[in-house]
Amino acid sequence: MHHPPIRRALTLVPFALVLLAPAARGGDALPPAVSNANAQLLSQFFAQGGASPAVLEYRRKLAEYQAARAAFDAQAGAYWSQISEKRRTRNAKRRSGQQITLDDYVLEHPPLYNGPKRPVNPEPEETPERPPRKPIPVVADFLRAAQELYQFTPQRPTNEVEFKRAYARYALASGLTREQAVRVYSFETGGTGSYDVQAGIEHGGKRAISTAMGYNQLLTTNSVELLAEQGHEFIRALSEKVARSSGPARQALEHKLAVLKKMVAHAKSVPDTWSEHEKIGNTAQGWAMHAMVLDVDVGPMLQTHKLLTSVLFARAKGYTRPLTAAELEMMNLTGDGTGLDMVTMPQALREQVPTSNFFQRGGYERNPVAIRHNTVAKLLAVTDERMDSNSSKAGATELAGAF
C-alpha cells in the first residue's frame, strides 16, 4: 500500500525532470500535494546561487523528503477518508437495526510512511517560539481546588487495603465481577497502582502525562461526566451512609454530602456532552470534582461507574453476554460506541478486520500497540496477555483478595 521512496538522482536537474516526467508523458495528473512539492523543488533549483555543497545537498534531500511525504499524505488521506465513510455507514446501519457485515469495514491496513527522513539544515534557522506548555495538574492541585472552591478535603483511606475493600464492596453490589475489576486494574496500572496513582507518576516516573488517576485511570472529564450522569446514585448511596452514622463522623459525612450535591448540580448545569464536560474538567472547578476520586466513600463509586457505564451501555444495545475484561477494556479505552463495535463482532470478523477501523488517523499513527497488533483479534489477545502477566503482581492480588 506504500510507494517506494524516490531514488536519488545523480544531478539536481535530471532529478527535477524525473519528478515532472509523469505529467510530461501525458499520464494521470499528480495529486496537488505532490505537484506543489515539485514546484517548490524547481524554485529551489533556480534560487541556489552560491550556496555551499552542504547546503545544496540539504536542499536536494529536503526536496526529496517533501515529495515523498506529499505522495504518502495523498495516499494516507484517501485511506482515512474511506475509514471515516465506512464508520458513518456502520453507525447508520446500527441505528436502523441492520446487520453489520465484513463489507462495512476497510480490510486493507493503512499505509505507513517509510520514505526518507527530514534532513537537518546545516544553516542556522529561526525557530518560531512555542507558547509554554500548560502544566498538567496533579493531586496537590486537585486538593487545593477542592479546598478553595468547596472548603472540602477528601477523606483519604488509612491504607491501600481500606480503599480496595470499599471499591470491591461497591463494585460487586453494582454488578461488576471480580475478574472484570481486577484484570482491568492490572491493565490500567500494571498491577501495582494505588488509589491515587496518576498517569506518568508511577514506576519511577516524575512527570504527569495526563490527569488520569486511580484504579481505572479517570480523567478530569470522566469525573465531571460521571457526576453529571450518575450523581443521583452517588447522592443516594452517601445519604444512606449518613443515615447510619452518628456523632462527629456523621457531621463530616453531612458536609461531604452537601459538597457532593453542589458538584453534581454544577456538572449537570451544562449539556450532557463530552466536550462540555471537558471544558469544566480543564478548570479549577473540574479539578475540585476530580479530587473526589481520592475520597474513600465517593472514589470507589467513581471507579466502579467508569466501568459499569460500559456494561450498561452494551446491555442497553442488546448485548447480553457478559463482557470479558479485555472487551470491557476496549470500551474503557476507545469509548462505549467504538468499543461495542469491536465487542459485538464475531470471532471470524475479528480475525480479519484491521484495528485502524476504530481510530482516527492521528491516534492510530501514535499508537504502536494498535499498529503491531493490527487486527481486532490480535489487539484483544495482547490485552489479555498483559492482564494475565500483571494479575499476579502485588496490587492485583491484594485487590482480588478484597473481593
**Domain shared by 184 and 331, yes or no:** yes
Domain boundary among 79, 104, 129: 104
Residue 258 lies in a domain: yes
231 lies in the same domain as 339: yes
Number of other CB atoms surrounding residue 166 within 10 Å? 21
40 located within any domain: yes
171 and 75 fall within a common domain: no
Q: Which pTM was predicted?
A: 0.80
Per residue of the chain (403 residues), give pLDDT as tens: 444 443 333 333 333 333 333 444 444 555 665 556 555 555 555 455 557 888 999 999 999 999 999 999 999 999 999 999 999 999 899 888 899 999 999 999 999 899 999 999 988 877 778 888 889 999 999 999 999 999 999 999 999 999 999 999 999 999 999 999 999 999 999 999 999 999 998 777 789 999 999 999 999 999 999 999 999 999 999 999 999 999 999 999 999 999 999 999 999 999 999 999 999 999 999 999 999 999 999 999 999 999 999 999 999 988 889 999 999 999 988 888 889 999 989 999 999 999 999 999 988 988 899 899 999 999 999 999 999 999 999 999 999 999 9
Burial environment of residue 25 by CB neighbours within 10 A (0 to 12, 13 to 18, 19 or more): exposed
Bin 217: left if φ > 0, else alpha if -120 < ψ < 50, else beta.
left
Long-range contacts of 162-166 (CB under 8 A, 24+ apart): 162/296, 163/195, 163/296, 163/299, 163/300, 164/195, 164/398, 164/399, 164/402, 165/402, 166/296, 166/297, 166/299, 166/300
One domain, residues 302 and 205: yes
Give the pLDDT confidence score for residue 9 in this predicted structure. Answer: 36
Last residue of a domain, one of 58, 89, 104: 104
CATH (domain of 197)? 1.10.530.10
10 Å Cβ neighbour count for 182?
28
CB of 166 closer than 8 Å to CB of 402:
no
119 belongs to a structural domain? no
* Residue 261 and residue 179 share a domain: yes
Q: What are the angstrom distances between the C-alpha of 377 and each of 99, 249, 279?
A: 20, 50, 35
Residues 194, 333, single domain; the answer is yes
Do both 232 and 327 map to the same domain? yes
Q: Assess whether 155 and 276 both reside in one domain.
A: yes
On whether both 158 and 286 belong to a single domain, the answer is yes
Beta-bridge partners for 389: none
Measured between alpha carbons, how far is 125 from 148 in angstroms, rounded to an integer?
46
- Cα 16 off chain centre by: 42
Q: Distances from the Cα of 85 to the Cαs of 66, 72, 82, 337, 359, in angstroms?
A: 28, 20, 5, 16, 13
84 occurs within a structural domain:
yes
Quick one: 202 and 346 in the same domain? yes
The stretches of 103-197 forming alpha helices (DSSP H) are: 139-150, 160-174, 178-189
Query: According to the model, what pLDDT value does residue 214 have?
Result: 96
- Would residue 25 count as lying in a domain? yes
181 domain-assigned = yes
Phi first, then psi: give them for residue 286, nearest 5 degrees. -65, -35
How many domains is the chain built from? 2
Q: Which of residues 59, 87, 104 is at a domain's end?
A: 104
Q: Which pLDDT value is given to residue 273? A: 96
Are 61 and 144 found together in one domain? no
Full domain range(s) for residue 155: 139-402
Q: Determine, yes or no, domain membership for 313.
A: yes
Q: 184 and 61 in one domain?
A: no
In a domain, 17, yes or no: yes
Intra-chain end-to-end CA distance of the chain, in Å: 50
